[in-house]
Amino acid sequence: MSENKVIDESKQGEALMIEQPVQPNGKKLFLESYGCAMNFSDSEIVASILKDKGFTTTQDFFEADVIFVNTCAIREGAEQRVRQRLTEYKKAKKTNPDLIVGVLGCMAERLKSQFLEQEKLVDIVVGPDAYRSLPELIEIAETGQKAVNVLLSKEETYADIAPVRLGSNGVTAFISITRGCDNMCAFCVVPFTRGRERSRDPETIIREATELFEQGYREVTLLGQNVDSYLWTGGGLKKENPSAEELKDATTFAQLLEQVALINTDLRVRFSTSHPKDMGDEVLHTIAKYNNICSYIHLPVQSGNSRILEMMNRGYTREWYLGRIDAIRRIIPDAGISMDIITGFCSETEEEHQDTLSLMEAVKYDFGYMFAYSERPKTLAERKYPDDVPAEIKSRRLAEIVELQVKHSAERTKAGVGKVHRVLTEGVSKKSKEQLFGRNSQNTVVVFPKENFQKGDYVNVYVESCTGGTLIGKAIY
C-alpha cells in the first residue's frame, strides 16, 4: 500500500487508489503469524487493509492497541502453541483493559465462535476470507461486543490489495496466486479452513510483481496450496469443466510463470506448492526455458507406499510420483527437489514405512519437511480411519526419516562444492557481519565475504566448502 494513491476510475477492478495519504488514527497493530507462507502473506494483506484505516504496525506488543494472531490448524501442536500465546495476551488485557485481541486464519475458521463464547479468550474471530471486514469488526469490539466473521468465499482473492511487506528484507516477496484447496487429502484440514480453490486474476499478479521489481525486489515466490491447478478463466472460481472456448482464453500456471519471468530477467521467480498429480511437463519446460525461473521444486510426496497414498486420497501412486521425479531430472537436470512427508498415517505398517525410506533413497531430496501424522477434526481420515499408529512408533519412524534426510541434504549440498553458483544476496549473515548470505537457484543458502556487495545484488560465488545445508565460498569476477 503506497502513501500516495491516485484515483483512476477508468481502471475498474484495479487497486482502489486514493489521492491523500491516509491519516494515522493513532492506533497500533501487533501482528503475529504462524504456519505456512500463505499465512504470512495473508498477514501482509491484513496490515494493508488496516493501514488504509490509519493503523500503524508495531513490533512491540506492549504498545499495541490491537493484537492479531494469524493462526495455523494443520497439526495439533501448531494449535497448542497458538493457545499458549492467546492465554498470555488475555493476561495482558488485565494491565490494558482497552486492548483488543483477535484470532485470524485457520484456527479461527476451525473453532469459530468457540474462542469467544466458551473460552472467552479473544474479542475478535476472523476467517481467511473475511479480512476486508476487519475495520468494522474492530469498531464493534471497541464497543465491548464480541465480533466474528468466518464466512468462506468462492471468489475472494484480495486481488486489488497491495500487501504491506512485513519484516521484509526488500529483496524477496510472496505473491498469492490461488486461495483454498479442492483436493481433500484425507489428513488435511485446509479445505475446511480455507475453502474452495480459486485463482487470482493474472493481470493483478503481474502488476504486483512488476511493482515489486520497480521497488528493488529481485525475487517473487508465487504461492498457492496447489499452484499447478492455477487456472484463470475470467471468473473467480476455477471452472470444474471448462469448455474449449473458455480454455482458449484461459491462463494456465505454466503461462502465468512465463509472464512473470518475462517482467525482467533480473527478477527471480519461485513457486510453492506443486502437486505431483497436477504437475505436467509443460510447467517443467517453462522452468527450463527461463534462467530466472528457479530450478527448484517443492513436491510433497507424503508417503512412499501406494496403499497409504490411496488412503490419503492423494491421487497418485509411488510409481507415478517417481515418474514425475524422472521428468524433473530429464527436463531440468540441475533442479533442487524438496518434499513433505507424513509418517505414521492410519494403519501404516513397518513395510510401508520402509517404502517411504526407499523412495527417499531413490529421489535423494535436497531438503524436506517431515511430520508425524496428527489427526484433525472433520477430515476424511478422522471420520473414516482410526489413528492407530502408537505415538512412540510415529516418533521412531519420524526420527529415521529425518536422519536419512539429513544425510541426503549433506550429500546434495556437498555436490555443490567446487562449482560456481549465481547467488541473489539477501542480507548479512547471522554469524558474521563481514559475510553476506543469499540463495542459489536450487534454494540452497550460500555464504560469502561482503566486499562491496549489497543485498539485492546477484553474485557469482565459487563454493569452496560446506556445512550441513550451507555452501561457503567467495565471489569471482
Question: Which partner from the list ligand 5AD, ligand SF4, none does 371 bind, CB cut-off 5 to 8 Å by kind?
Answer: ligand 5AD
The nearer residue to ligand 5AD, 278 or 340, going by C-beta atoms, is 340
Provide φ and ψ at 217, rounded to 5°. -65, 150
- CB distance 452 to 426 below 8 Å: no
Strand partners, 337: 297
- Indicate whether 381 belongs to the interface with ligand SF4 (CB under 6 A): no
223-252 positions binding ligand SF4, by CB under 6 A: 225-226
Helix axes 134-142, 37-51, angle to 10 degrees: 70
Q: How far is the CB of 44 from ligand 5AD (least distance, A)?
A: 20
Question: Which partner from the list ligand 5AD, ligand SF4, none does 225 bind, CB cut-off 5 to 8 Å by kind?
Answer: ligand SF4
Q: Is 325 exposed, middle or buried (0-12, 13-18, 19+ CB in 10 A)?
A: buried
Provide φ and ψ at 352, rounded to 5°. -70, -35
359-378 positions binding ligand SF4, by CB under 6 A: none
Q: In one letter, which amino acid is 465?
A: S
Cα 418 from Cα 9, distance rounded (Å): 56
Candidate residues 35, 127, 128, 191; the one interacting with ligand SF4 per rule CB under 6 A:
191
Q: How far is the CB of 272 from ligand SF4 (least distance, A)?
A: 11
The nearer residue to ligand SF4, 192 or 213, going by C-beta atoms, is 192
Cα 386 from Cα 340, distance rounded (Å): 22
Supply the DSSP string of 299-348, one letter for each residue: ---B-S-HHHHHHTT-S--HHHHHHHHHHHHHHSTT-EEEEEEEES-TT-
- Indicate whether 373 belongs to the interface with ligand 5AD (CB under 6 A): yes
Candidate residues 163, 300, 336, 456; the one interacting with ligand 5AD per rule CB under 6 A:
300
328-367 positions binding ligand 5AD, by CB under 6 A: 340, 342
- Indicate whether 188 belongs to the interface with ligand SF4 (CB under 6 A): yes
The nearer residue to ligand 5AD, 91 or 383, going by C-beta atoms, is 383
Plot region of 243 (φ>0 → left; ψ -120 to 50 → alpha; else → beta): beta
- Indicate whether 470 belongs to the interface with ligand SF4 (CB under 6 A): no
Q: Which residues in this chain contact ligand SF4 in the complex, by CB under 6 A?
A: 181, 183-185, 188, 190-191, 225-226, 275
Q: Which residues in this chain contact ligand 5AD in the complex, by CB under 6 A?
A: 74-75, 187-188, 300, 302, 340, 342, 371, 373-374, 376
